[in-house]
Amino acid sequence: MVARAVLIAAAASGQGKTTVTAALARKLVRAGRTVRVFKCGPDFIDPMLLARACGTPVESLDLWMVGPQRCRSLLAEAAAQADAILVEGVMGLYDGTPSAADLSREFGLPVLAVIDAGAMAQTAGALVHGLRDYGPVDMAGVVANRVASPGHAAMVAASLRGIPLLGTLPKQAASLPERHLGLVLPDEVAGLDQLLDNLAQQLTFDLAAWDALPAANIAQAEDDSAPAAPAPLPLAGARIAIARDAAFMFLYPANLATLQALGAQLEYFSPLADEAVPRDATAVYLPGGYPELHCAALAAGQRWQASLRRAHADGLPIVAECGGMMALAESLQDKEGKAWPMAGLLPGKVAMQGRLAGLGAQAMPTSHGPLRGHTFHYSRLETTEPPAATTQKHPSGVAGEAVYRVGSLQASYFHGYFPSNPAAVAAMFSRSAA
């Protein structure tokens, strides 16, 4: 199978990268291609949308958090299975350390530049040439977003001076809805599949030029393999109960796969449905999500709260990330300023705020070395509980998020990427560590 691969990037956020990536993925699928999509950098929501567009799971690629070896392994696996590989960039092409441009150069992924042409014409050429030459990066071509007419598209194409205009997308009457942490979740968008089909239909794209792109040349390195779990399997016999519903859905697929590779069996329960932690659970994982949008239901749920308190009293390891931690505080104040009672395992109260409180790549120290991940939140925790540890921001190394340990509970705004340190993850979910 011959796969073509591109990194879809732009000069800045808000130019339409996700819309174009979703539209192109759906268009290629409708043309009979097998498509794999990846997201550059830490992200939970965009991959959900992109998975709906292409029909296959979407993994993260990041040279620091995921690591070059695992990134190469994921790309090589995709190249062996798919006709087309689309990697959506993050922020602007050169933003961040590492940047999307760094990923492009590391794996020889040519850039498909998304240009918001809504308020420009010939200047698009200057912008695209600057994006290409600053790094430099290889430029596969351009998709012009928010194009007003065929004449407008022709002016953009003429300005590119030899860089092909592979596609155009007109201004949209309706855009993908957003909220404070990004796009609205796919399951909340009525008629999402029809919207994706409409975007694919409206995206004019030169499939012949796509097929003329060089084949992806991404081979496994000789020592390239997924991070190996310590042997014997340290979580063999463990049953990890994972909160999973509209309030708790920020889960990397790779995190679940890592827990299973360590030997654990996974069970799911829904706090929103007031489901209790399964009685046979040996550990609990509360990932991030949007508890602030579901305060009334969570506050009214007595079974899930009582089961968490019982698990905590019994000494079961409980790992709570961001939204999971928010739901285990004594109270959660929503954006309207109303405070709602929560499970109360962690002393203190959480309040939503209008401005960003934390964002970026971080690493959490453990006895098995650092666990890499990130943080992204709009709330603050006020607590008298002293931090047991503090994450380090990347690349500055300055102090990041507090990590709290109350009995068998570990709670933080930090989201861990479990494949970065399976041994540390095994310890987190082991009763001996708790």
* Pair of tokens at residue 72: 């190469």
Per the CB < 8 A criterion, the answer to whether 342 and 329 are in contact is yes
How far apart are the C-alpha atoms of 130 and 135, rounded to whole Å? Answer: 9
Q: What is 187-233 written as a DSSP string?
A: GGSTTHHHHHHHHHHH-EE-HHHHHHSPPP-----TT--PPPPPSS-
CA angle 117, 118, 124 (to 5 degrees): 20
Q: Find, among 314, 321, 290, 339, the residue nearest to 391 by Cα.
A: 321
CA angle 262, 264, 267 (to 5 degrees): 145
Dihedral over Cα of 73, 78, 84, 89: its sign: negative
Q: Find, among 357, 360, 350, 356, the residue nearest to 398 by Cα.
A: 360
Q: Is 322 a catalytic residue?
A: yes
Would you give the distance in Å from CA 263 to the centre of its chain? 25
CA distances from 433 to 97, 227, 313, 396, 407 (A): 33, 22, 15, 29, 11
How far apart are the C-alpha atoms of 354 and 380, rounded to whole Å? Answer: 11
Paired sense of beta strands 346-352 and 379-382, if any: antiparallel
How far apart are the C-alpha atoms of 279 and 52, rounded to whole Å? Answer: 34
* Pair of tokens at residue 296: 């009334």
Q: Which helix (H) or strand (E) holds 311?
A: helix 302-313
Backbone angles phi, psi at 39, to 5 degrees: -120, 130
Residues known to be catalytic: 322
